[in-house]
């Protein structure tokens, strides 16, 4: 769903445990503006389902037999026909080794599997509108593992901490405002309203941020904001 598109948010649920899929579907089916268009039990099926249904959001488990959620997220991101499909990763704290990989693969959000229903629904809507979301409890874990993974050489294409801090310091005041809002989960429409600018202006700033900070997707902007110290984990709502 684009920010100017009407209609319910179309969601695909991916998890290798049928009971979890049932639980997620029960939550989302109670929302009048959300519709579940399919379920998958592994990453291979998830990619095929995404290609067939073109959902707005894929709720993606990480640990699954065969093709895992990290690989499935990357495959969705690499398919130009699925450019509008957003991915929200469902994780647990023992999934730490996968978190950096999922973010590098292009996940738009991270939620814990025991998150409350209201947060899940809010995440679906935010991600569908083009926003990013890190549940507060997940944020320190994501930032820590992004640093560890980067120090080991992955993900590629990101700058060392001092260079990242310097890059953020060189942003314009308005770009800094946009980055702070994006890091807190705001969609382009919400940023435009908060800053009293047009959607086109916000999109231009986001593209500039991606270029200046050397990252390729919105969720990486979130991490850059935290790593640079622009946003402090727990200091504000994600």
Q: Are residues 24 and 137 in the same domain?
A: yes
CATH of the domain at 167: 1.10.10.10
- Give the residue from 111, 144, 177 where a domain finishes: 144
Q: Are residues 136 and 23 in the same domain?
A: yes
CATH of the domain at 126: 3.40.50.2300
> Across the strands, what pairs with 112?
91
Q: Are residues 185 and 122 in the same domain?
A: no
Q: Are residues 136 and 24 in the same domain?
A: yes
Establish if 212 belongs to a structural domain.
Answer: yes
**Structural domain boundaries enclosing 130:** 9-144
- Give the residue from 144, 178, 196 where a domain finishes: 144
pLDDT of residue 165: 83
C-alpha 28/C-alpha 89 separation (Å) is 16
pLDDT of residue 67: 95
C-alpha 185/C-alpha 178 separation (Å) is 11
- Element holding 87 (H helix, E strand): strand 86-91
C-alpha 58/C-alpha 124 separation (Å) is 9
Q: Are residues 165 and 123 in the same domain?
A: no
The reply to whether the predicted model has a pTM over 0.75 is no
pLDDT of residue 145: 58
C-alpha 140/C-alpha 227 separation (Å) is 10
Measured CA to CA in angstroms, residue 5 lies from 9, 40, 56, 128 at distances of 10, 26, 11, 10
- Give the residue from 121, 144, 167 where a domain finishes: 144
Give the full edge-to-edge strand order of the sheet including 57-61: 34-40, 9-14, 57-61, 86-91, 109-112, 133-134
Q: How many domains does the chain have?
A: 2
Query: Mean of the per-residue pLDDT values for the chain?
Result: 83
**pLDDT mean for each 10 residues of the chain (238 residues):** 69 96 95 96 97 97 92 94 93 68 82 89 90 70 58 44 82 95 82 92 93 81 80 54
- Tell me the three state secondary structure of residue 169: helix
């Amino acid at each position: 769903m684009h920010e100017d598109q009407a209609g319910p948010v179309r969601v695909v649920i991916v998890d290798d445990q049928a009971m979890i899929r049932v639980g997620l579907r029960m939550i989302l089916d109670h929302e009048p503006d959300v519709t579940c268009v399919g379920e998958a039990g592994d990453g291979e099926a998830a990619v095929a389902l995404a290609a067939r249904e073109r959902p707005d959001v894929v709720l993606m488990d990480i640990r699954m037999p065969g093709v895992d959620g990290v690989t499935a997220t990357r495959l969705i991101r690499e398919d130009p026909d699925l450019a509008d499909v957003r991915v929200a990763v469902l994780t647990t704290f023992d999934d730490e080794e996968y978190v950096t990989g999922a973010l590098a693969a292009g996940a738009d959000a991270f939620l814990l599997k025991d998150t409350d229903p209201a947060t899940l629904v809010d995440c679906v809507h935010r991600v569908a509108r083009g926003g990013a979301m890190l549940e507060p409890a997940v944020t320190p874990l994501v930032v820590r593992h992004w640093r560890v993974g980067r120090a080991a050489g992955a993900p590629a294409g990101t700058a060392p901490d001092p260079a990242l801090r310097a890059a953020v310091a060189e942003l314009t005041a308005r770009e800094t405002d946009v980055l702070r809002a994006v890091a807190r989960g705001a969609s382009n429409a919400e940023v435009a309203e908060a800053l009293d600018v047009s959607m086109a202006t916000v999109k231009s700033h986001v593209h500039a941020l991606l270029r200046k900070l050397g990252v390729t997707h919105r969720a990486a902007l979130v991490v850059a904001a935290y790593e640079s110290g622009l946003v402090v984990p727990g200091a504000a709502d994600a």
